């Protein structure tokens, strides 16, 4: 009887040892396989990082390509707008030339005087195109200069801002006669009669007096009187819509062709 009890006790002890051994083996297995799991997780994380980096670079490249394409489209749109404006302005100036009894040709400015004191430009048109000294030069429908000298394919134009320029002009509403003068101070109309009221924003046109230029070519607008009460003759500053320092293209008004 006691032998059976002893055998049962030994069996239970062995069973407990076996169960504890399995727990130890499981713990040891986890310890041994843990680094492998960590390494596998690290490799997966690196793969995910590089895949994300590749997608970021792809998006960046596509964005740069789209920005470059948009820049090209914008530049083409701006160029087309400028061409449309140039064509519109040139058509207006050609119509103005016809109303003045002449014809017109478009010319590009190819050279400028080195100092503001001279205020002259060179055009890529000359006597080969029937350009001659004394012909008016327009921009945006306003007088900007007069042809001074020509060669076969070049014309020298003296701008209105040149200090040597003196042109007879007339105020459109009052019909007061004066002289347009250039210079570093800007455009001025001088020698206006004292009994004339010089208003603001009155159109200034070329005068038929003197026969220097065709009459009624727009020059600009008055800015009101500059003269003091003690002056016998009046003056006014001229506001021109033309930026003389940035001129690139102009129109030369030629005389009408002679009838056969």
What's 195's domain CATH number?
A: 2.40.10.350
Give the separation between CA 224 and CA 206, rounded to whole angstroms.
18
Looking at 99, 115, 144, which one is the last position of a domain?
Answer: 99
**Of all residues in the chain, what percent carry a pLDDT higher than 70?**
67
Each residue's pLDDT tens digit, 93-135: 667 666 666 788 999 999 998 776 568 999 999 999 999 999 9
Domain that holds residue 38: 1-99
How distant is the alpha carbon of residue 66 from its chain centre?
Answer: 22
Give the separation between CA 118 and CA 121, rounded to whole angstroms.
9
Q: What is the pLDDT of residue 184?
A: 78
Average pLDDT score over the chain:
78
Half-sphere exposure of 191 (CA within 13 A, CB side): 10
Q: What is the pLDDT of residue 201?
A: 94
Q: What is the pLDDT of residue 151?
A: 95
Our count of domains for the chain comes to 3
Each residue's pLDDT tens digit, 17-65: 455 444 544 544 444 445 445 444 555 555 676 677 677 778 788 888 8
Nearest to 252 by CA among 115, 182, 148: 148
Q: What is the pLDDT of residue 225?
A: 83
Vertex 96: Cα angle to 246 and 204 (nearest 5): 70
> Within this chain, do residues 94 and 7 fall inside the same structural domain, yes or no?
yes
Nearest to 249 by CA among 99, 138, 160: 138
């Amino acid at each position: 009887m006691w032998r059976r009890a002893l055998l049962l006790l030994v069996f239970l002890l062995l069973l407990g040892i076996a169960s504890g051994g399995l727990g130890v083996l499981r713990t040891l297995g986890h310890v041994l396989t843990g680094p492998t799991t960590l390494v596998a997780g690290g490799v997966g994380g690196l793969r995910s990082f590089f895949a994300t980096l590749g997608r970021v670079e792809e998006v960046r490249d596509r964005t740069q390509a789209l920005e470059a394409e948009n820049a090209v489209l914008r530049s083409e749109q701006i160029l087309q707008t400028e061409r449309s404006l140039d064509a519109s302005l040139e058509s207006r100036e050609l119509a103005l030339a016809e109303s003045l009894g002449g014809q017109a040709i478009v010319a590009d400015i190819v050279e400028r005087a080195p100092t503001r004191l001279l205020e002259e430009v060179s055009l890529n048109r000359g006597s080969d195109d029937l350009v001659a000294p004394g012909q008016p030069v327009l921009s945006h429908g306003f007088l900007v200069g007069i042809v001074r000298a020509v060669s076969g394919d070049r014309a020298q134009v003296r701008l209105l801002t040149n200090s040597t320029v003196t042109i007879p002009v007339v105020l459109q509403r009052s019909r007061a006669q004066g002289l347009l003068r250039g210079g570093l101070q800007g455009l001025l109309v001088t020698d206006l009669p004292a009994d004339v009221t010089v208003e603001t924003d009155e159109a200034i046109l070329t005068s038929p007096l003197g026969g220097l230029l065709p009459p009624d070519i727009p020059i600009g607008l008055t800015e009101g009187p500059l003269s003091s009460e003690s002056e016998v003759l009046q003056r006014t500053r001229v506001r021109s819509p033309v930026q003389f320092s940035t001129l690139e293209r102009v129109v030369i008004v030629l005389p009408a062709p002679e009838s056969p």
